[in-house]
Structure 1
């Protein structure tokens, strides 16, 4: 039997990359997945279509996450669609995957860059959890997609790294807060993953070779590698794991 049969999940940034992989994986396990996207409706619809072609169930939801208004819009839209699809405003799984990166070095980072990173990568998941917590069932799951840069010193994109460190701290304290309700909260820390965000450099011979050399397993990570970890944490199999930063870098920089 599918591990998530009868469950409902919201995956932010679920239209592309790691989020898309997680959305597809949760649907394969039987969950009804709400695929959030910020602007790429075509990508979200393609993700929903792929899920349905595999026999799963999914719904696309649009909302920008750079402001509190956007977070509130997502929370309200999700609840409305949830009731429409299931007849219930309660749900089981929240995956905070949506995030933005930067190519700016520490020296080049502006206040605008910094504020945008903090707004999407930290502020949005903080207030989205706050808004949706009354509707998350006891025994539910929260999975935050962080980054291996919180373990590995990589100062060239320091502002981005700081946001993921904040997400780890959020994970730890939220796990303690929600433990009495049986809700587990964990973070997954990917390394270099073959997504469209990394395609410009990763799909060069030099870039791929560099990425492969970083991993103890000698290859580049795929969205499915991260999705499998997230699915475990979201399932009943992960019931005794909470407050953890689960390294999914393929042993990068061991």
Structure 2
């Protein structure tokens, strides 16, 4: 296992996170995933090269204990105490018109989509190997406006800025940091709004490829983005939106 790459993927109990974990596993990367509510799905997916830990990303004061859990899980499951790739996938989306967005809605989005990856990455830095990778997740809604998504898009715009700062400040350890920009995708994200045929049709009109994404359209690219094929890429936004809002 010493020569095998290991990834930590947050929010891997369902949706895009689970897809990322499965594609990484198939590419030969061992995965430690986190889940919060999807305990059953995580248990069913657990295997010799995919294990899970529970993490509530809103509880920043538990991150130090989580680091200890990660270290012991890596040792027990993979025979190592450090890992190579961190994918900050866990997040939420809230639909609320700008004029009626509440402070509680805004604070929840900031807490989960921005504050959590900021401080979780910071806490995990001692466990990330030299020359490792960090991949943050953003959205094409930072480029094209969809009314009702202002607070969500603002948190993801902040992630794109954070990525550039991390890329510079972690370069001394040769850690590359990039952003994956997703777009409209058929998952249960945001309460499953993309399951609506009407919403799918509206979204498809803004996408150059003429349809919304499947999970695999986005998650299948993650192993390549984390690999040495992208070793000269850092501080970048990697667009996997199908040409949304170009």
TM bucket, shorter chain: over 0.9
1:213 and 1:47, CA in 2 relative to 1: closer, same or farther beyond 3 A?
Answer: farther
Contact 2:9 2:32 in 1 (8 A): yes
1:13 aligns with 2:29: no
Taking structure 2 as the reference length, what is the TM-score of the superposition? Answer: 0.93
Determine the C-alpha separation between the residues in 2 that align with 1:39 and 1:69. 19
How many angstroms does 1:82 deviate by?
0.9
One of 67, 87, 91 as aligned partner of 2:83: 91
Structure 1: stretches of 5+ with no match in the other structure: none
Q: State which drifts further: 85-94 or 188-197.
A: 85-94
Taking structure 1 as the reference length, what is the TM-score of the superposition? Answer: 0.90
1:200 and 1:7, CA in 2 relative to 1: closer, same or farther beyond 3 A?
Answer: closer
1:176 and 1:200, CA in 2 relative to 1: closer, same or farther beyond 3 A?
Answer: closer
1:236 aligns with 2:228: yes
1:30-179 counterparts in 2 under 5 A? 30-48=28-46, 52=47, 57-179=49-171
Corresponding pairs, count: 244
1:199 and 1:98, CA in 2 relative to 1: closer, same or farther beyond 3 A?
Answer: closer
Determine the C-alpha separation between the residues in 2 that align with 1:161 and 1:70. 27
Determine the C-alpha separation between the residues in 2 that align with 1:15 and 1:36. 7
Structure 2: stretches of 5+ with no match in the other structure: none
Contact 1:64 1:71 in 2 (8 A): no
Determine the C-alpha separation between the residues in 1 that align with 2:191 and 2:162. 30
Determine the C-alpha separation between the residues in 2 that align with 1:46 and 1:109. 37
How many angstroms does 1:149 deviate by?
1.1
1:192 aligns with 2:190: no
